[in-house]
Structure 1
Amino acid sequence: MTLDDLYATILSRKDSDPSSSWTAQLLAKGPEKCAEKFGEEAVEAIIEAVKDDKAGLTGEAADVLYHLLVMLAARDVPLADVLDELARRQSQSGISEKASR
Structure 2
Amino acid sequence: MSDFTLADLERIVASRAEASPEESWTAKLIAGGQKKAAKKLGEEAVETVIAAIADDRENLTYEAADLMFHLLVVLKIAGIPLANVMTELERRTTKSGIAEKAARTDA
Q: TM-score range by the shorter chain?
A: over 0.9
1:5 alignment partner in structure 2: 8
Q: For 1:1-101, list aligned pairs within 5 A.
A: 1-101=4-104
Query: Which protein, 1 or 2, shows the higher relative CO under an 8 Å CA cutoff with sep ≥ 6?
Result: 1
Give me the CA root mean square deviation. 0.8
TM-score (norm 1): 0.96
TM-score (norm 2): 0.91
The Cα shift of 1:95 comes to 1.1
Give 5+ residue unaligned stretches, structure 2.
none
Identity between Structure 1 and Structure 2 (%): 52
The count of residues paired between Structure 1 and Structure 2 equals 101
Off by >4 Å, runs of 4+ in structure 1? none
Q: 2: CA distance between counterparts of 1:12 and 1:100?
A: 38
Give 5+ residue unaligned stretches, structure 1.
none
The Cα shift of 1:13 comes to 2.2
